[in-house]
Each structure stands twice: as structure tokens, then as C-alpha cells.
Structure 1
Amino acid sequence: MAPYIDAVVVAFLVFMLLLFQICIPFFVKKILKIAFRVSSKELDLQTSLLDLQSEKDQVDVKEEFAKYAKIERKINKVVTELKEARNARRFDIFKVSWILNLAGKFLCAVGFVIMIWSYRTSPLVTLKEEWLFPLAGILAFPTGQSGSIGITCWVLICKIVIEKSNVMNKLKTISGKSKQY
């Protein structure tokens, strides 16, 4: 009974690691939304820009050109500062996003290496050899026991099943790069 429970636990861990690997962009996106909100400086610049634009709309260009030009220069200065603040925030988001995605993928890879190393000699599933006839040797890798399915092959099978399933494709589109910050 214990080998079957062990195989089920390993199969579940493989599935969860693959699921986590697919969901990394979703988690990163949520973390970035929390960590990199619009700063108070940007909000102040936006409100001052709106105030200056409403003030500019109230000034008649023909009668008060000097005042109009002064307001226009202030607007240009605020727009430049706002663009610089947004670009700095976007660059920080890009750096942290890249680091978090890389760290998540690294953790998944380490998890897979540990699992493959730990279960390299024991088969996950043992079936009749005739059922696996043309591919028995490949499916048994790295155990070498014909009629069995090894951990490496199991990881590949799970990955293919998860990638081909419609639910995972929908999850990828939800967690993917659909919206830029």
C-alpha cells in the first residue's frame, strides 16, 4: 500500500509544481500591484496638471497671451516630471518582475531536480510490459525497470497534459501579459 501512496504523493507534487510554474506570472503581477502603487508625487503631479489645464482653459489666448504661454510652460514642465516619475516606476516594476519570475522558475527547477533525483531508482507506476511495448524503455527512464513509468517521464507527461488542457490555457491568459502597468 505504501508504494502506491508514495506514487500518488509524487504525482500530486509534480502536478502542483507545474501548476505553480504556470501561475508564476499571475503571482508576480499581484505582488507588483501591491508593491508598486502610484506614488503621492505622481498623484500630486496629476492633480497639478489638471489644475493647470483648467486654468489654461479659462484664459483667453488673444487677450492674455503672456499668461497663457506661462501656464503652457508650467504644463510642459509638469508633464515632463510626470513622465519621468512614471518611467522610473515602470523600470522598477520591470526589474522586480524579472527577478521574481526568475526566482520562481528557479525554485520550480530546483523542486523538479530534487524530485527526479530522489525518485530516480523507484518507478512511479508499474504496468504490464505489453501495454507499453514500443516505448517501455523510454517510459522507464531512469529506473531501467521495463513495464514501469519513471519520474522523468511522469514529469513530461504531466507537463504535456497541463499544457494541452483548456483550463490551463485560460489560466495562462489570465496570468499573462494582458495589461501593462
Structure 2
Amino acid sequence: MSPLITIFLLVFIGQLVTWIGKTVLLDIAYNAYLWVIRSPLAARQRALKTQIMANKTELMKTSAQDQFAKWAKLRRSVDKGLADLEKLNSEIASAKSGFAMKFNTALWLLTTGLQFVVGWWYRKQPVFFLPEGWFGPLGWWLALPFAPAGSVSVGVWQMACRRVIVVGERVVKDFIGPSTVSADPSEKSATSTPNNTPKKESEKKDS
């Protein structure tokens, strides 16, 4: 694949990650990870939540005065379940924190890190050559830092791709965004005063 397409795809993927959000991607990846490995922690959490809800429902149906022994037993069961759930949530949060660190590292390597590697690998190779005389004496700037004169370097092409994608994002947002249409003042007054609104006394006298 040519450097032109490779760099554009890498920049686009990096911007796509920014649009979606790392937090959203982390949640999706972590849920998929739990589903693949069949995490016992997640299964215990679901079972414990179901048991707590069942005990709470039974507790609400039990009278503390008429059935105190049963009520006290259910109360202790609910309290113990909530304490166990809090400990389990701490374990899950700790496991997710470790997964998040690995996920963010992998995401950085696959986006920003890979862009650095590709930029260094093709640092002396022109992405494409410009027609002679297009930018005059400023043409040398487009070849910085190591590309041949009269060409566009990898670094400049990366910046151009990122800029075009960001501008394209704004155009799409403006196009699909909610349009505010200003209403006609006469229509506003007509709608604000219904036809069946009774006239004031002064208006009746004038008529």
C-alpha cells in the first residue's frame, strides 16, 4: 500500500477513535472481553444482584411486627448481600482498571504510535511530487524535514489529512445539525392570540 493511502487511513482511524471516545471503546472492549472469557466475577455479580432484589422484594412484603423473626432474617440477608456486592464491585473495578491500562496502551500503539513509526519509516520518501512552480519559493516547506525538494513529505501529508478530516467533521455536523428557523412575527402574534380569546372592555367600547 502506498504511503499516501496508509497515512490517510492511520490518521482517519485516529480521528475515529477521538469521535467515538476512548471511554466508549473501553466499555465495549471490556464487555466483549468478559463475554469471551466468561468472567466468574461478572456471573457472581449478576447472581448477587438478583438475590438481593428478591430478598428486598420479600422484605417489603413482610411485616416487622407480625413476622419479626422472618423480617430480621431477611434484613440481615439483604445487608450481607449489599456488603458482598460492594466488595465484588471493588474487585471488578480493580480488574477493569488493569484492563483499561492495557487497552489504552494498545490503542495508543495502534494509532499514534503506528503513525510515528510510519512517519519515521517513510521520512525520506516523497508522498507525491507537486507540479513545478505551484508554490514558488514556499515549495521547500512542504518537503520538510527529509523529503526531496518539490515533493510533499510524510509529516506535511499527515497534517493535511488531519486538517481535512477535522474540517469534514465540522461540515457534516453543521449539515445534519438542528436548523433554527426564525418564525414570521405576524405568525407569532397570530398564534399567541387565539381567535376565541375574549376582547378587553376597552376594545368592546371602541368597536
> SS in structure 2 opposite 1:35?
helix
Shift of 1:78: 0.3
Shift of 1:14: 0.8
Counterpart of 1:63, as a letter, is D
**Percent identity between the aligned chains?**
22
Identify which of 95, 98, 101 aligns with 2:101: 98
TM-score for both structures, normalised by structure 2: 0.65
Shift of 1:152: 1.0
CA distance in 1, matches of 2:137, 2:75: 77
CA distance in 2, matches of 1:55, 1:115: 62
In the alignment, is residue 86 of structure 1 matched against residue 63 of structure 2? no
> SS in structure 1 opposite 2:52?
helix
> SS in structure 1 opposite 2:135?
helix
Aligned partners of 1:140 and 1:148 also within 8 Å: yes
CA distance in 2, matches of 1:161, 1:88: 44
In the alignment, is residue 56 of structure 1 matched against residue 59 of structure 2? yes
> Alignment RMSD, CA only?
2.9
Aligned partners of 2:11 and 2:115 also within 8 Å: no
- The structure-2 alpha-carbon separation of the partners of 1:40 and 1:113, relative to structure 1 and needing over 3 Å to count, comes to closer
Aligned partners of 2:12 and 2:162 also within 8 Å: no
Aligned partners of 2:8 and 2:161 also within 8 Å: yes
TM-score for both structures, normalised by structure 1: 0.73
- Give the aligned length: 163
Counterpart of 2:29, as a letter, is I
Deviations 1:140-181 (A, max 9, x none): 1123544321111111111222233228x98xxxxxxxxxxx
Equivalence for 2:70: 67
Counterpart of 1:39, as a letter, is A
Q: Which runs of 5 or more structure 1 residues have no equivalent in the other structure?
A: 1-5, 171-181
Counterpart of 1:138, as a letter, is W
Shift of 1:131: 2.5
Runs of 4+ aligned structure 1 residues displaced above 4 Å come to none
Instruction: Select the structure of larger CA radius of gyration.
Output: 2
Equivalence for 1:19: 12
CA distance in 2, matches of 1:47, 1:144: 64
Shift of 1:13: 0.7
Aligned partners of 2:11 and 2:162 also within 8 Å: yes
CA distance in 1, matches of 2:43, 2:119: 49
CA distance in 2, matches of 1:16, 1:55: 57
Equivalence for 1:36: 34
Aligned partners of 2:144 and 2:155 also within 8 Å: yes
Aligned partners of 1:21 and 1:105 also within 8 Å: no
Shift of 1:66: 4.2
Equivalence for 2:151: 148
- The structure-2 alpha-carbon separation of the partners of 1:133 and 1:17, relative to structure 1 and needing over 3 Å to count, comes to same
Deviations 1:46-73 (A, max 9, x none): 2211221122122112323343233222
Equivalence for 2:186: none
Q: Which runs of 5 or more structure 2 residues have no equivalent in the other structure?
A: 36-40, 174-207
Aligned partners of 1:36 and 1:89 also within 8 Å: no
> SS in structure 2 opposite 1:61?
coil
